[in-house]
Structure 1
Amino acid sequence: MENRKNEIVRYEALKDTPNFERSFELHKKLTLIKLEDTDEPFNSRTIVAINNQIMNHTIIDSKTGMLYFRVEGIHNILRTSRGIARNLVYHGASPELAASSTISHNDKDYVSQPSLMAMIDYSTNLSKGTKIRYINYVNTSIKMFKSFEYLKNLKDKILSHTMYSRSLMKAKKIKADKIEKCQFTNKVFKSLKEVEFAHIDAVAYKPFLAGDLKNGVIVLKEIHETMTKQDINDFVAMYKFCEENNYDLKWAEKVDW
């Protein structure tokens, strides 16, 4: 587990973002609509505990748009005891769940959204009955943040900059590595317009690798679009994506971080 104490990064509290109250009320309504759970009403105290933890103890990395959730109190989100929740964060549950990397902000540990989602997925596989309903609620709520007004606007700004950077990196990587084929399909391309530079580990997850040519592959534009739609954002997800589609995996041999 890596504990990165990096107060140079500017974090802002989710609850302090513009129009937060209106946006969060809409977020809660959209979560219930998306969930489509009509079995019986949820326990209001449980839902309040979940939403209060998210609302009051979530921060945003302003440079990447990444959400981070405070470890203290995260049991309210994971619907388990404090001890089990801390164990999942700091030790994982081998081999299914790796320990989470944490960042420190104001002397409190936080885990990233991908780390939280991994713990939620792990909990989903072990839950049943009433608990699975609340785990599904949490799962839906966290995923719905991609539509949260402030985060969406922030990520749109980041993406516009990344698109420009990625265009330059595409040309540099093709020239540096003498690439003539899509690295997944081995289909020869004749124009730069046919391909894209796809980050292996997304900028939001590993910003320190954002400008590293090794942290990217050259793939056909339509493949890149598919990966974007499927939220393929890290090495593990990209490797699995290639396995499922019978794509070449030689690119993975060069990943050394």
Structure 2
Amino acid sequence: MAKLTKAETKQHNKIMDLVESDKALTYDEKLFIIENFHEGAFTNNSELGAFFTPIGLARDFTIDACTSGSVVDLCAGIGGLSFAMLHMMMYAKPREIVCVELNHTYYKLGKRIVPEATWINADALTTEFDTLFDMAISNPPFGKIKTSNFKGKYTGAEFEYKVIERASQIARAGTFILPQMSANFRYSGRRYFQQDESTTTSKCKKFLDETGLEMQPGYGIDTGYYLEEWKGVKPMCEVVCMEFPEPEPEPAQNLFTFTIE
């Protein structure tokens, strides 16, 4: 766990008082929690790769993730992205949001911050759904995180790619915040956009080749603007947009067996 400063401890205590109270939280109180909750207060967030999206970046993220349909938020944390989708999206509002989060503390906080969503305390990569979502969103844990037994076409160890592959199985499209080196283009923190062989690392190529998926840039969100607003890290990221092929229908089962002589 991270060692909090006196100011961070004071904010943390105020957050816990708000969360543990019986009253419904106001918009400003929810925003206060999102902006000030420290991921490392209860867990080793470095080991888990859990770093929450700055709220300004979450707001900008909705430009690319905009939808009036159904949304699944994988590895939802305390719900920052879903909060932005519901309260900060300019042109639309999802008709439904499902948030999946494995960490029970984050899950409990998220239910208070985004009570409009359906919350599931489970492994985001192995949870089964009986519907196909219009949009999957995620700021997934980055790197070689071992919190799931999910197996897919991708045979590498990068957790963010596993989240994308799982999203491709349950949604029509996806919008993700990824480390810049995990994307196949460069825009954030640069003077111009670049997408070619030199911007596709070997690990990214492996993922794209094995899954057959394609990454696309969005409208041009420079995540470098929010570099100082992350807690404990300063990751240069990219917002990656993807369209997923419709899953193939299950083969029909034969109800009768015929013997032809």
Mark yes or no: TM-score above 0.5.
no
| TM class, shorter-length | under 0.3
TM-score, scaled relative to structure 1: 0.26
